[in-house]
Amino acid sequence: MGGAAAICAFASDRPPDADRLILLSPAVWGFSQQPWLYSASLWIAAHTLPAYVANPPSFVTRRIWASDNVRELISMGRDPLMIWGSRFDTLYGLVGLMEDAWRRIDRVTVPTVYMYGAHDQIIPAPAAISAAARLRPPGRTL
Average predicted confidence (pLDDT) for the chain: 92
DSSP codes of every residue in 30-95? -GGGS-HHHHHHHHHHHHHSTTPEE---HHHHHH--S-S-HHHHHHHHH-TT----EEHHHHHHHH
Whether 66 contacts 121, CB under 8 Å: yes
Is 78 inside a domain boundary?
yes
**What pLDDT shows up at residue 10?**
97
Give strand pairing partners of 14: none
Is 140 inside a domain boundary?
no
Q: How confident is the model at residue 139 (pLDDT cuts 50, 70, 90)?
A: low
- For residue 57, is pLDDT > 80? no
Is 138 inside a domain boundary?
no
Is 139 inside a domain boundary?
no
Is 141 inside a domain boundary?
no
Q: How many domains does the chain have?
A: 1
Structural domain containing residue 52: 2-12+20-133
Is 69 inside a domain boundary?
yes
